[in-house]
Amino acid sequence: AQSVTQLGSHVSVSEGALVLLRCNYSSSVPPYLFWYVQYPNQGLQLLLKYTSAATLVKGINGFEAEFKKSETSFHLTKPSAHMSDAAEYFCAVSRGGAAGNKLTFGGGTRVLVKP
């Protein structure tokens, strides 16, 4: 079975400050990991994904995440927050191949950006 834990349901950052969103996963097989962003009243949009290639993954909008197997973590960072980053962020895990169809999502972290 797979599971995802996102530490902190709400995060508040100042504009220009570092954004750090934590994600820990459990998986019995090498995982595929994803970060999605959801803006108000919209669907989920993929930020980045890890699929067993480079452990440091760069995504859209200046976000990146590092896969750390020893820590079973896939934390999301952005060096400098922008007001447009205010949204809810979801970490998700799946297995590879055909089994990769079943995404398991974390509970989400809502980011508030203060001017």
Length of the chain as a residue count:
115
Check residue 106 for interaction with other proteins (CB under 8 A).
yes
Report whether 12 contacts 114 (CB < 8 A).
yes
Closest distance of CB 45 from other proteins, Å: 7
Binding mask 23-42 for other proteins (x = CB under 8 A): -----------x-x----xx
DSSP secondary structure of the chain = --EEEEE-SEEEEETTS-EEEEEEEE-SSPPEEEEEEE-TTS-EEEEEEE-SS-SEEE-GGG-EEEEEGGGTEEEEEESS--GGG-EEEEEEEE-SGGGGG--EE---EEEEEE-
20 versus 46: smaller Cβ distance to other proteins: 46
Stretch near other proteins under the rule CB under 8 A, chosen from 17-25, 55-63, 65-73, 100-108: 100-108
81 versus 93: smaller Cβ distance to other proteins: 93
Closest distance of CB 48 from other proteins, Å: 9
**Where on the chain is the footprint of other proteins (CB under 8 A)?**
34, 36, 41-46, 49, 90, 101-103, 105-108
